[in-house]
Structure 1
Amino acid sequence: MREALFSKLETYQVLQGGRVVDLCAGSGALGLEAASRGASEVALVDYARGAIKACQDNVRRLGLRGVRVVMAKAQAYTAGPAGSPVDLVFFDPPYDMSEASVSEVLTPLVRSQDPWLQPHSVVVVERSTRSPEPTWPAGMHSFSDKKYGETRLWFAELD
């Protein structure tokens, strides 16, 4: 799945020199793969202590530059300041995260003040195939989805 995902992302030109946020990063695999493929800045965001340690260990082991590990809940992180817009957001919440909580994370991405996204940005949401499509906030829409076994990826962008 990861190779297919990144092949698709390369066609969107959001990796090389891009700014990436990996929400609910777990081990950081997606964000670290983005860094290895040319992303200039990557934030690995998770709230679980074990995930933070795994991310830190993986960053150290791989020696990738421009990667930072942030201990925060995804909802709090996206509600906070963006600084400058990002090119790519990965959001791989726990499969048991409620749809309302998923929306709480996605909605701040489209705010007009201190925006997270820019016109070419891509948001990738990973969920169980048993989960419904995320409810996209006004100003964002899904343009593609792909099923890989029990996992479905949704790709979204600004309207």
Structure 2
Amino acid sequence: MSISRTLAGLTAAATAALATFAAVAPAAQADTGSAWGPYHAPRHTAKAWGTLSAVGEDHAVLPTAHHVKITGKVYDNTRGSACGWAVFRITYRKGNNLPFRHHSVRDCSYRTPKPFSFKYSHVYQVELKVCSEFKTAKPSLNCLYAGTWKTLYLSK
């Protein structure tokens, strides 16, 4: 008789624990924040690091996060006319399509980091490339299309 009472007590405790976990789990999955970096340009001429927070994943049509907030710093490690670039490729949902746009942050002050923070909605994927180039208004085609992108976030 005491064994059945013990088993009944364990079953009740396990059921309560599962109910508590089920109530907490959606809140834990709603906001996925993580640190990324540091990532470096070739020859360590620039670097970038920071955090990414994705809130409200939606899997109705295409898996996307309702909002993604990216914060961090980009460093220029060269002297002279070069600048450090952190170039983000943000793939987002537009209807049933997944177009992308670039968001670039430039720092031209030697070893003095430039902080940044920005948000996007309906994000499917966030990728990063760190480059070091001459001071221009936009990153070059070489920076955008040569080499590989580092995936910071991919909606699942």
Query: Same fold judged by TM-score > 0.5?
Result: no
Q: Relative to total residues, which structure has the larger helix share, 1 or 2?
A: 1
Pair member with larger Rg: 2
Q: Relative to total residues, which structure has the larger strand share, 1 or 2?
A: 2
* TM-score, with structure 1 as normaliser: 0.26
* TM-score, with structure 2 as normaliser: 0.26
